[in-house]
Structure 1
């Protein structure tokens, strides 16, 4: 499960960096920053939910078993995506503004050196 979360985190970070590599309009840069922030927040929420559900015993609505264990991680990820898109913890809003701030700073530094 750790490797899947690492992959998702790297994918979200890569998406946030792609705005620096290609020339994009501010609207698509903002959209990419928002998507990266929501991805990051969903990974964070999935990790929190994984820890939360690890404390829940096998006495749950689905009855436990190896099938439930195999798919619980995916269910947590989907819950986390929905929570993040619905506002989540508010982390994605703050991350979006920080990503855009760093991109603007990098763009202004790049323009000064030319």
Structure 2
């Protein structure tokens, strides 16, 4: 899967064109989802329980669950990181 941040087209002087805002929004949400997935991992979300856990299979697929939970959080307004990133990217290099 290509890196969403690397596929954002740029206009004159590196400032995104207005029609590129959808791509910037998607990239911002994807970056927030990646950040949230790491935070969920470090918080212990999805780790196997000691008793009545899912065994080795649960441990193998925990990262997929964390990523999907993080994506759902980011798409539902998340923690505001995507919005901040989007506005910073739209502003670009302009003073």
1:52 matched residue in structure 2: 43
The equivalent position to 2:4 in structure 1, one of 12, 16, 35, is: 12
Relative to its length, the structure with more helix (as a share) is: 1
Q: Distance in 2 between matches of 1:11 and 1:69?
A: 26
Number of matched residues?
Answer: 90
The equivalent position to 2:57 in structure 1, one of 25, 49, 67, is: 67
State TM-score, norm by structure 2. 0.79
CA RMSD of aligned residues (A): 2.7
1:92-112 deviations in Å (ceiling 9; x for gaps): 00000011111xx37xxxxxx
Q: Is the alpha carbon distance of 1:71 and 1:56 closer, same or farther for their aligned partners in structure 2, counting shifts above 3 Å?
A: closer
* Long gaps (5+) in structure 2: none
The equivalent position to 1:89 in structure 2, one of 52, 76, 79, is: 79
* Long gaps (5+) in structure 1: 1-7, 107-114
